Amino acid sequence: MERTAVLFVLLSFCITSLALECKVVPGSVKQIDVWNGIVYGVNSNNQILALFKQWLKLEGSWKHVSVGPAGTWGVNANNRICKNVGGRWIQFKDLMKQIDAGGKYIAGVNMNNEFMCISESSSWTIIPEKLKYVSCGPYSCWGVNAADNIFILKGLTPTACGGSLKFEKIPGSLSMIDVSTDGKVFGVNSNGDVYQRDGVSQSNPVGTGWRQVPSSKKVKHVSYGNGHLWLIGRDDSIMDCSE
């Protein structure tokens, strides 16, 4: 049984070619998030950077930033949730370690390593699945835990960011994961390899399997939007890749 399970995981991470053209982007960040041509990052000094023709430093000290349909949000050095409104950061009382604005909701991981999200005009929904990183798209949220196990939360609706209220385990192992606003799912494993989930759709949010995305260097963070896959190397270098 154990040998069969291991074989299934290996097969689910099939290695096929996905031809990408990548260019190096000047600068360095440890975390990046993109949406609709907007690019934000956090550097090793915990500064938020916005990419226009060049990187522009914004005020404050930050751990994580996310941009998407729900707006531009961040988690500051004190784990406070903040939203960028008209160029100013508005701080809220709620605490998170990591935040995501890629769906129509705000979601993230709280101080107890639990998933939490909030729909418009509602209160926080908390699901006690222990996670270290989450990312949401139009119809599902994906997450990974401290052991690099992968989970999916299905059944999201415009009024229910908690969907089915239950995360389901997906075969494979990833250290971080990213879901784009069109539902594409990418992730990075502990070895620095990049993967994409094939077959993901609204009717089949789980998809069919993992496909390795070739990269010239080891990667620690990814974000996808508008046909561009952004890769952050272990040395904080930045690559913008497109098919």
Q: What is the DSSP pairing of strand 133-136 with strand 140-144?
A: antiparallel
Distance of CA 152 to the CA centre of its chain: 13
CATH 3.40.50.11540 at 26-242, yes or no: no
User: d(Cα 152, Cα 142) in Å, to the nearest integer?
Assistant: 4
Cα pseudo-dihedral 46, 218, 54, 186, rounded to 10: -90
Is there a contact between 223 and 185 (Cβ–Cβ < 8 Å)?
no
pLDDT of residue 18: 54
Beta strands (DSSP E) in 79-138 are: 80-85, 88-95, 98-100, 106-109, 114-118, 124-130, 133-136
Whether residue 145 contacts residue 115, with contact meaning beta carbons closer than 8 Å, is answered with no
List of the chain residues with pLDDT < 50: 1-17
- Which H or E run includes 49? strand 48-51
What whole-number distance in Å separates Cα of residue 32 and Cα of residue 50? 10
**Given this model, what pLDDT does residue 30 score?**
98
End-to-end CA, the chain: 39
- Measured CA to CA, the distance from residue 208 to residue 198 in angstroms comes to 6
Every domain of the chain and the residues it spans:
26-242
* pTM of the predicted protein model: 0.90
- In contact, 32 and 39? CB cutoff 8 Å: yes
**What integer pLDDT is reported at residue 158 of this predicted model?**
79
H-type helices in the chain, by residue range?
Answer: 2-12
Confidence (pLDDT) at 121: 62
Torsion, Cα 213 216 218 221, to 10 degrees, reads -60
Mean per-residue pLDDT over the chain, rounded: 91
Picking from 125, 119, 177, 126, the residue whose alpha carbon sits closest to that of residue 151 is 177
Sign, CA torsion 106/100/130/9: positive
Note the maximum CA span of the chain: 56
